[in-house]
Amino acid sequence: MDDTTVGQAREGGTAARQLLVAGTPVASYVWESDLPATDSPRPYLHPVRTLAGTPVTEFRPDDHVHHLGVSLAVADVGAVNFWGGRTFVRDRGASWLDDHGHQRHDAFQERADGFGERLTWIGPDGATVAREERTVLARPVIGAAPGDAWALDFSFALTVSEPLEIKSSACKGRPGAGYGGFFWRAPKESADIAVFTAEAGGEADVHGSLTPWLALVSDAWSLVFVQAGTVDPWFVRVAEYPGVGPALAWDRPLAVTGTLRRRVVTVVADGRLGRAAAAKLAAAAAATDAVESAP
């Protein structure tokens, strides 16, 4: 076994397991919870912390109560809301509909550095919409000094039995609202939050950009997101709230006929990183063994 291990615990209606790097707790993965149906209940990571213990996720904030730390959340999968909250309807706007699905945990496959997981995506009528194979790993970052940073390696394979479309609110007429996929909600109260890529900086310039990595930084912490494999446009929020995720259906529906695969490696570091340091960590994260990490 390497220096990353996991532990499990259950309390009330919540079941969680811990991810550790070199014996330091870095994340809690909640795979069962008593969330309301309107949150589109799903497994999530919260809290996630730097190696020094600084929180880098936010859970059910007042501005968007369906934001659940780090999760795989999609606004429309075959007309089912797996994002939570209201559904954007063309020519009508955001509306409360009885269309919320949930992700059911089915089984874990143990790994020394994390775990694999089987899940079923279920619609409001109880029907299976999709099945998923997920891998969640916590690892030291190669090339980083001990204690400086660690990486969350999150990959998924979403399989459908019948063709369907994944859509975002942007696909239905809401400009810039291409959210849906792996999504990280960061703490809103963090000081002086900024976002940049290798070529650009600022929310307006990086939102919707197609670049392999993107950094979200504050005075206390830095997150470097790396799309390992297929690169989707980045959905980015900073001014309204801090949140980042690759957008599966940025401005047009994504047709899924078999299995959809994606992988995001996120470097979690203490303090504020500059562009050069972020680029170095992004390169190290991208070099992590993709074959070993894939579901």
| Residues 23-75: tens digit of each pLDDT | 999 999 999 999 999 999 999 999 999 999 999 999 999 999 999 999 999 99
Check whether 6 has a pLDDT greater than 80.
no
Residue 117 CB partners (closer than 8 Å, separation 6+):
31, 43, 105, 106, 107, 108, 109, 132, 133, 134, 135, 136
Contacts made by residues 7-14, CB under 8 angstroms, sequence distance 24+: none
Q: How confident is the model at residue 287 (pLDDT cuts 50, 70, 90)?
A: confident
Return d(Cα 142, Cα 284) in angstroms, integer: 6
Check whether 292 has a pLDDT greater than 80.
no
Q: For residue 47, report the phi and psi dihedrals to the nearest 5 degrees.
A: -80, 150
Q: For residue 277, report the phi and psi dihedrals to the nearest 5 degrees.
A: -65, -40
Q: How confident is the model at residue 205 (pLDDT cuts 50, 70, 90)?
A: very high
Looking at residue 234, its pLDDT comes to: 99
Looking at residue 295, its pLDDT comes to: 55
Q: Can you list the domains of the chain with their CATH numbers?
A: 4-293 (2.70.98)
247-282 per-position pLDDT tens digit: 999 999 999 999 999 999 999 999 999 999 999 999
Mean pLDDT of 223-244: 97
- Quote the pTM value: 0.93
Looking at residue 8, its pLDDT comes to: 64
Check whether 16 has a pLDDT greater than 60.
yes
Looking at residue 201, its pLDDT comes to: 97
Check whether 14 has a pLDDT greater than 90.
no
Return d(Cα 175, Cα 235) in angstroms, integer: 12
Q: How confident is the model at residue 294 (pLDDT cuts 50, 70, 90)?
A: very low
Check whether 289 has a pLDDT greater than 90.
no
**112 vs 84, which has greater pLDDT?**
84
Assess contact for 94 and 32: CB atoms under 8 A: no
168-181 per-position pLDDT tens digit: 999 998 989 999 99
Give me the residue label for tokens 């999504």. 183
Residue 79 CB partners (closer than 8 Å, separation 6+):
99
Q: How confident is the model at residue 12 (pLDDT cuts 50, 70, 90)?
A: low
Q: Which of 278, 271, 183 is nearest to 224 (CA)?
A: 278
Check whether 235 has a pLDDT greater than 60.
yes
Mean residue pLDDT of the chain comes to 92
Mean pLDDT of 128-140: 97
Check whether 233 has a pLDDT greater than 90.
yes
Looking at residue 129, its pLDDT comes to: 98
Residue 147, number of CB atoms within 10 A of its CB: 14
